[in-house]
Structure 1
Amino acid sequence: MAINSNTHPSIWIDEQPEANGTFKNWSKETLQLINTSTEKNWILISNAMNNLVPEVYDFSFLNNIEPDKNITLIVDDSHGIGINNQGLSAFSSLPERENISHVVVASMAKALGVDAGLILGSEKIIMQLKSTSTFVGASPPAAAGIYAFMHAESIYKKQWLKLQDNINLLTRNLNQSWKYAPGFPAFLIDDATIDQQLWKHNILISSFPYPTPASKPINRVILCSWHEHSDINRLCNTIGLFS
């Protein structure tokens, strides 16, 4: 088993994985570990992206795994589903190999705004999960929310386009101090006081310690499709006062 250190705490086996460094380094180390090992069956666990930096992960390294290795890849796409890949999940972007089984799990409560979760995988894997006591005993989401989700495709498409327009406007007005991934609405800055400075101007941004309460706080601007250009221009003008 190989677990990326940036994987969400909800799918840690026990405590934070020992692996450190970037996803690129983890992928290289994992590839070498698998291909040089006599073990044939492997489970890989990772987020689809690091939403804090942010960075969308590239799983193409899996194409270089020896064909005699059997891989089960579990990916948490909670932060990317509804935004990345034209709003689709990471499932369609994962390498397709006969020796690799994909499982994508995600909360739908973030970009999709539905109090529910989902699991994507092959029919065989889904049927196996449905036979577990954990699945049978789980509480279903509210029917009203799922009904609205199933009938809101045109609304999601419209709001996704508006969000991308908002992202483009903000990126054109930020300097190189900010870190972001193309098309993703989270903007990180290594400034411990910017949240307090913006708060003085009645602008509230995301600021909290992660992944544990003792961790250093991270400060990010998070855009939504309900933000208007006037909101973004006001934010940029305010940032310009002290940057």
Structure 2
Amino acid sequence: MFFHLNDTHNAIQTENSFPIFLNGELNNRLLDSKPEKITILTDGVPSFETKPADLSFLEKISKTKEITLIIDESHSLGITGKNGCGIYSSISFPLKRKIMVSSLGKAFGLTGGVIASDSEFINQIKELETFTSAAGMNPSFVQTLYDAKEIYKKQHQKLLDNLNYIDSILIKNGNVKFDKNYPLIYLLSNELVEKLKQEKIIIASFRYTKEAEPLNRIVVTANHLKEDLDKLVSVLNKK
């Protein structure tokens, strides 16, 4: 039986999955005494958010449930946690198993992905035909990931420095959603998007679903220069 946080990305949702929360309360099916195996699906950092998912609800689930947690860290691996290791290693709630999946095309800039879990599960994955017949990640990319481990640490610190600098000069207001620990700035005003265009600053703007409002977000990188950030924030600070 599958359960998902209400704002879980469509990429890891599955049919017949139940929401973890209903009307702000934990789903009663997670609280009853019926013994069963359940799988919880969540993002490391949910869409439209700047903080890791709050998983404290796991402690409230009935002890009769055998819990597998699947966490998509595509938007947190390489960014959050010590040296950008994500939140997977810090999850210590009582679980039968935890599984991390992630793209490496975000923070690491590489074509490929990763699955992490206990050795028993990984060995089972290796026996699946969908795994053995799939095209693997380019070996040179894997080698690059290993060889660049010290560079990634330095870049991660540069990113944190940039975020702290933005936090020190950005005037907080209701149209800008920003947290100094996460390299996305969400714009809740389409007017701001137009102002940025006028200054020749193009940001990510798209719809996750046809019915949704455009998702407007600015991605801050380790390689942005101080003058880049000054120009960006000067536009965001204009009234």
TM-score, normalised by the number of residues in structure 1: 0.88
Within the candidate set 95, 115, 119, 1:119 is matched to 115
Could you tell me which residue of structure 2 aligns to residue 190 of structure 1? 188
Instruction: Show the 5 A alignment for 1:208-227.
Output: 208-210=206-208, 212-227=209-224
Is 1:5–1:18's contact at 8 Å kept on the other side of the alignment? no
Partner AA of 2:197 in structure 1: W
Please list every run of 5 or more consecutive structure 2 residues that lacks an aligned counterpart in the other structure.
Answer: none
Residue correspondence of structure 1 range 82-97 to structure 2 within 5 A: 82-86=78-82, 87-97=84-94
**How far apart are residue 21 of structure 1 and its match?**
7.4
Residues 35-184 of structure 1 mapped to structure 2, 5 A cutoff: 35-86=31-82, 87-97=84-94, 99-174=95-170, 175-177=172-174, 178-184=176-182
TM-superposition CA deviations, 1:176-210 (whole Å, max 9, x none)? 32223341001112102322211111111121112
Query: Any idea what SS the aligned residue of 2:216 has?
Result: strand
Pairs aligned (count):
235
Spell out, residue by residue over 1:141-162, the C-alpha distance to the aligned partner (whole angstroms, 9 max, x if none). 1111111111111100100000
User: What's the RMSD between the two structures over aligned residues?
Assistant: 2.2
Q: Report how far residue 20 of structure 1 moved.
A: 8.9
Contact 1:71 1:100 in 2 (8 A): yes
Unaligned runs of 5+ in 1: none
Tell me by how many angstroms 1:35 deviates. Answer: 2.4
Partner Cα separation in structure 2 for residue 57 and residue 197 of structure 1: 32
| Identity in percent | 26
Cα deviation code 1:64-89 (max 9, x no counterpart) = 33433211111111000000012003
Letter aligned with residue 53 of structure 2: Y
1:13 aligned onto 2:14: yes
Structure 2 distance, partners of 1:21, 1:191, is 29
* Secondary structure in 2 matching 1:80: coil
Letter in 1 for 2:213: K
Of residues 167-176 and 157-166 in structure 1, the stretch that sits farther from structure 2 once superposed is 167-176
Q: Which moved more, 1:149-158 or 1:134-143?
A: 134-143
Q: For the residues of structure 2 that align with 1:182 and 1:188, how far apart are their CA atoms?
A: 12
Q: Which amino acid aligns with 1:228?
A: L
Q: Distance in 1 between matches of 2:207 and 2:21?
A: 19
User: Which aligned segments of 4 or more residues in structure 1 are displaced greater than 6 angstroms?
Assistant: none
Q: Is the 8 A contact 1:56 1:181 kept in 2?
A: no
List per-residue Cα deviations over 1:100-141 (Å, max 9, x = no partner). Answer: 310010001100111110011111111111111111121111
Residues 1:239 and 2:233 are matched in the alignment: no
CA distance in 2, matches of 1:85, 1:232: 24
Equivalent position SS for 2:155 = helix
Q: 1:53 to 1:92 in 2, by over 3 A?
A: same
> Match for 1:191: what amino acid?
S
The one-letter code of the counterpart of 1:85 is: G
Contact 1:59/1:95, CA 8 A, preserved across alignment? no
